[in-house]
């Protein structure tokens, strides 16, 4: 009896143990599986699936877990796509964009903004906006969130660089302001144009006022009785006449420049031999230049045909020659040269005058620019001659530039594309 009972108990125990192990396996295995998957998901791997062993609660849990994995994967992909879209928009914008938190520390910045400010990538994050943009006065985000745009000067010693910053606070449904978005827009060109315009108007007014004040004082003296003076009256009248002439010249030059600025302006181009044409102009100046200045011609013996506006070209050459004569010392020689370079005729006019400092070589082609203002005005220049020359030469697809050794002389070169060359046998 006892043995039978003992054996029965033992067998029952063994069966229970086996059943227990089997049962616990079916519960713990899927749970261990899910744990492993959760670890993988944390690493960003959503591709694994939990095996569903049964249809009971544990099986349903595994099934729900798989669904959750799918949804998470989708949500993750959407966020990633959004992020990529935002990055590509930010990176392809021509404007710089900076986002900051409430305390104005940078949390996002695109490449353009970094380039504008001149920052390395690692320097940008967490930096303070105030320091980055070098604002003098403190940036405060007002409660109503409206901030006027600001002009920021980021120029270096060599280059002008102006940026306009537009601010918009980050705010959700009129809740508290949580940060600031700053859009940086390059306005250098706009500002430069505006600055040039202001300078131009100032120059014109100044140039017109000088002869007018001179005339007024002379006319006042004449009106006060000097008109009766046989000696003074003609002198004073001559001066006023000269000043009037100067003003007319100036206004004509200005009109011409403004006409050339407008797009409709067309040149009256005809085909002619430039060498012969150049020779004729030099002849004309040779008659009026005076004894003290020598002319030397090193012109080609060929005929070089060009397509150009003769009146305008005459004006260009006249001005360069007049300048050369004006700035030549007594006994100076002016050399005229023509050369062929890469499909272009190059004209060089060289003098042995005062020369132009290296730093001003480009500026002499700017409107109203004169190296030595006081001196140039005495010899009667307004500083428009070479800027007109530059416009004319560009309208003929040519270039104009100056080479000079200060104190030793100047050469002005300009080029013009040529049509045909005809050899001359004599």
Q: Which is nearer to ligand ATP, 113 or 254 (CB)?
A: 254
Q: Which is nearer to ligand ATP, 141 or 364 (CB)?
A: 364
Centre a 10 Å sphere on the Cβ of residue 370 and count the other Cβ atoms it contains: 19
Q: Which is nearer to ligand ATP, 110 or 404 (CB)?
A: 404
Q: What are phi and psi of 102, to 5 degrees?
A: -65, -30
**Residue 41 · residue 75 · CB < 8 Å:** no
Q: Which is nearer to ligand ATP, 113 or 364 (CB)?
A: 364
> DSSP 3-state assignment of 25?
helix
User: Nearest approach, Cβ of 246 to Mg ion (angstroms)?
Assistant: 13
Site string for ligand ATP, 330-359 (x = CB under 6 A): ---------------------x-xx-x---
DSSP readout, 161-174? -EEEEEEEEEESTT
Residue 275 contact partner, candidates ligand ATP, Mg ion, none, CB within 5 to 8 A by sort of partner: none
Q: Which is nearer to ligand ATP, 124 or 354 (CB)?
A: 354
User: Nearest approach, Cβ of 211 to ligand ATP (angstroms)?
Assistant: 13
User: Nearest approach, Cβ of 389 to ligand ATP (angstroms)?
Assistant: 7
**Residue 267 · residue 325 · CB < 8 Å:** no
User: Nearest approach, Cβ of 239 to Mg ion (angstroms)?
Assistant: 22
**Residue 275 · residue 406 · CB < 8 Å:** no
d(CA 348, CA 399): 12
Long-range pairs of 416-419 with CB within 8 A, sequence gap ≥ 24: 416/274, 416/306, 416/308, 416/313, 416/344, 416/345, 416/347, 417/306, 417/307, 417/343, 417/344, 417/345, 418/274, 418/304, 418/305, 418/306, 418/340, 418/343, 418/344, 418/345, 419/271, 419/305, 419/306, 419/307
List interacting residues with Mg ion (CB under 5 A).
Answer: 319, 323, 385
User: Nearest approach, Cβ of 149 to Mg ion (angstroms)?
Assistant: 43
Out of 30, 96, 169, 385, the only residue in the binding site for ligand ATP (CB under 6 A) is: 385
Out of 96, 169, 383, 398, the only residue in the binding site for ligand ATP (CB under 6 A) is: 383
Binding status of residue 393 toward ligand ATP by CB under 6 A: no
Out of 132, 165, 324, 392, the only residue in the binding site for ligand ATP (CB under 6 A) is: 324
Q: Which is nearer to ligand ATP, 323 or 338 (CB)?
A: 323
User: Nearest approach, Cβ of 246 to ligand ATP (angstroms)?
Assistant: 9
Structure tokens at 281: 């102009």
d(CA 344, CA 233): 54
Residue 384 contact partner, candidates ligand ATP, Mg ion, none, CB within 5 to 8 A by sort of partner: ligand ATP
d(CA 93, CA 78): 23
Binding status of residue 211 toward ligand ATP by CB under 6 A: no
User: Nearest approach, Cβ of 376 to Mg ion (angstroms)?
Assistant: 9
- Residues that bind ligand ATP (rule: CB under 6 A) add up to a total of 22
Residue 361's H or E segment, with its range, is none
> DSSP 3-state assignment of 378?
helix
Out of 381, 391, 396, 414, the only residue in the binding site for ligand ATP (CB under 6 A) is: 381
User: Nearest approach, Cβ of 351 to ligand ATP (angstroms)?
Assistant: 5
Binding status of residue 319 toward ligand ATP by CB under 6 A: yes
**What angle separates helix 385-395 from helix 310-326, to the nearest 10 degrees?**
140
User: Nearest approach, Cβ of 243 to ligand ATP (angstroms)?
Assistant: 14
DSSP readout, 227-269? GG-TTHHHHHHHHHHHHHHHHHHHHHHHHHHHHHHSTT----E
d(CA 352, CA 334): 7
**What letter does residue 145 receive in the DSSP assignment?**
-
User: Nearest approach, Cβ of 302 to Mg ion (angstroms)?
Assistant: 30
Q: Of 170-209, which residues contact ligand ATP (CB under 6 A)?
A: none
Residue 90 contact partner, candidates Mg ion, ligand ATP, none, CB within 5 to 8 A by sort of partner: none
Out of 352, 410, 414, 415, the only residue in the binding site for ligand ATP (CB under 6 A) is: 410
Structure tokens at 203: 């120059």
d(CA 127, CA 148): 23
- Residues forming contacts to ligand ATP in the complex (CB under 6 A) are 319, 323-324, 327, 351, 353-354, 356, 364, 369-372, 376, 381-387, 410
């Amino acid at each position: 009896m006892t043995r039978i009972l003992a054996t029965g108990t033992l067998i029952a125990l063994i069966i229970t143990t086996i059943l227990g192990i089997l049962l616990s396996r079916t519960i713990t295995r899927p749970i261990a599986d899910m744990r492993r998957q959760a670890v993988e998901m944390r690493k960003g791997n959503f591709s694994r699936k939990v095996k569903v062993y049964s249809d009971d609660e544990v099986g349903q849990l595994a099934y729900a877990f798989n669904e959750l994995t799918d949804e998470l994967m989708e949500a993750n992909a959407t966020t990633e796509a959004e992020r990529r879209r935002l990055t590509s928009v930010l990176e392809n914008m021509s404007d710089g964009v900076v986002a900051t938190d409430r305390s104005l520390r940078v949390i996002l910045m695109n490449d353009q903004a970094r380039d504008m400010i001149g920052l390395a990538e690692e320097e940008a994050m967490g930096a303070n906006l105030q320091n980055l943009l070098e604002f003098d006065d403190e940036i405060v985000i007002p409660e109503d969130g409206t901030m006027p745009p600001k002009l920021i000067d980021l120029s270096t010693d060599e280059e002008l660089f102006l940026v306009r910053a537009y601010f918009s606070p980050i705010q959700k449904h009129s809740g508290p302001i949580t940060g600031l978005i700053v859009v940086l827009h390059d306005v250098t060109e706009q500002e430069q144009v505006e600055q040039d315009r202001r300078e131009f108007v100032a120059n014109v007014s100044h140039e017109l006022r000088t002869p007018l004040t001179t005339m007024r004082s002379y006319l006042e003296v004449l009106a006060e009785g000097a008109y009766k003076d046989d000696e003074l009256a003609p002198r004073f009248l001559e001066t006023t006449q000269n000043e009037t002439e100067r003003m007319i010249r100036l206004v004509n030059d200005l009109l011409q420049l403004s006409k050339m600025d407008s797009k409709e302006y067309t040149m009256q181009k005809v085909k002619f031999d430039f060498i012969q044409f150049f020779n004729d102009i030099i002849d004309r100046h040779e008659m009026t230049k005076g004894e003290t200045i020598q002319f030397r011609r090193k012109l080609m013996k060929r005929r070089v045909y060009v397509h150009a506006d003769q009146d305008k070209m005459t004006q260009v050459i006249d001005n360069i020659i007049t300048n050369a004569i004006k700035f030549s010392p007594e006994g100076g020689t002016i050399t005229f040269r023509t050369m062929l370079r890469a499909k272009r005729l190059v004209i060089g006019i060289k003098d042995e005058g005062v020369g132009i400092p290296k730093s001003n070589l480009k500026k002499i082609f700017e409107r109203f620019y004169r190296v030595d203002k006081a001196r140039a005005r005495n010899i009667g220049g307004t500083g428009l001659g070479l800027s007109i020359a530059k416009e004319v030469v560009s309208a003929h697809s040519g270039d104009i530039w100056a080479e000079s050794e200060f104190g030793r002389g100047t050469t002005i070169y300009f080029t013009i594309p040529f049509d045909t060359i005809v050899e001359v046998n004599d």
